Structures are given as structure tokens and as C-alpha cells.
């Protein structure tokens, strides 16, 4: 995959079919519908030490964050629907004004996947001990982190 940026946004060219599939499942990966992901993405600010502050957070802050995060995920899904396929390779254009949505959705997916699959720091070092869904989640987390890093780096230019 090649990534080019200009004043209008980013272009991903020559996207391998596997990478295209990882991109297509990004919105679902960022979902916070399950308890583990929701608890991680919308974690209480005092982690239970101040129940009143945590309750206020859930009542006043979390709904706005939930709406903002969903709008970012929707933007990413809309962009992904424009992905073009030609002779087995795909290309995708992300408008510059959608950059923040992509950055937030990639990070949210990493957090949600980590919580959903109980990923801990040592899991990256012991990949061979994992198989199935957790192994796939670790690959997704790494890919989304790499893509997030690239977008952030290109945003700083």
C-alpha cells in the first residue's frame, strides 16, 4: 500500500485485498456496543474512587462523547464505501477534513479490540502463544496503530 498526501487529503493506492478487508472492518472493530469495549473507551475518570464524579461523567460527558465518536465512525464508513477496486488492487481517498475522524476511529478500534480480547502489554511479545480471534485482534491493533502513526505524521507536515 502506498500513501500519498496533498492539501486535499490522503490517497491510499495499491491496497492489497487483505489490507482492504482490514480497512473495511474498521468501523465494526471500533464499535463500543459490548461492555468490555464500552468500559475501556468511556472509562470513568476516577475509576470508582469518586462515585459522584463518575456518575456526573456518565450523565453529562459520556453521551456527547458517544455521539461524537459515532459521527467519526460514520464518516470513516462513508469514506470506505467509496473505496475503488481495479484488477484486485484497491484505492481510497480520504478528504483532509475527515482526518480527525479517521485518527479517532483508528484509536478507538485499537482500544475496543484490546478490551474485547483482553490484550495486555506482554501479548505483543508473545504472539506465537495466541491463535484464533486474539491473534487476529493483535494483528488488527498493530495495523491500525501503524496507519494511525502514518496519518498523524502526515498531519504534522
pLDDT tens digits, 15-58: 999 999 999 999 999 999 989 998 899 988 998 899 999 999 99
The chain-wide mean pLDDT, for the chain, equals 89
- Count up the domains in the chain and report the number: 1
Question: In terms of residue numbers, what domain contains 8?
Answer: 2-156
Statement: the pTM of the whole predicted model exceeds 0.85? yes
Confidence of residue 78 (pLDDT cuts 50, 70, 90): very high
C-beta contacts of 2-11 below 8 A and 24+ residues apart: 3/150, 3/154, 5/154, 5/157, 7/96, 8/95, 8/96, 9/93, 9/94, 9/95, 9/96, 9/97, 9/98, 9/99, 10/93, 10/94, 10/96, 10/99, 10/151, 10/154, 11/91, 11/92, 11/93, 11/94
Question: How many percent of the chain have pLDDT more than 90?
Answer: 61
Amino acid at each position: 500500500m502506498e500513501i500519498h498526501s496533498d492539501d486535499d487529503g490522503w490517497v491510499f493506492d495499491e491496497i492489497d485485498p487483505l489490507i482492504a478487508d482490514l480497512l473495511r472492518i474498521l468501523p465494526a472493530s471500533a464499535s463500543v456496543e459490548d461492555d468490555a469495549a464500552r468500559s475501556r473507551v468511556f472509562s470513568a475518570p476516577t475509576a470508582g474512587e469518586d462515585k459522584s464524579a463518575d456518575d456526573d461523567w456518565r450523565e453529562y460527558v459520556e453521551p456527547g462523547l458517544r455521539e461524537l465518536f459515532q459521527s467519526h465512525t460514520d464518516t470513516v464508513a462513508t469514506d470506505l464505501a467509496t473505496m475503488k477496486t481495479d484488477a484486485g488492487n484497491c484505492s481510497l481517498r480520504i478528504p483532509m477534513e475527515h482526518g480527525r475522524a479517521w485518527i479517532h476511529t483508528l484509536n478507538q478500534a485499537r482500544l475496543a479490540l484490546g478490551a474485547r480480547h483482553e490484550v495486555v502489554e506482554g501479548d505483543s511479545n508473545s504472539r506465537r502463544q495466541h491463535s484464533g480471534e486474539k491473534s487476529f485482534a493483535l494483528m488488527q491493533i498493530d495495523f491500525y496503530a501503524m496507519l494511525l502513526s502514518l496519518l498523524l505524521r502526515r498531519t504534522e507536515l
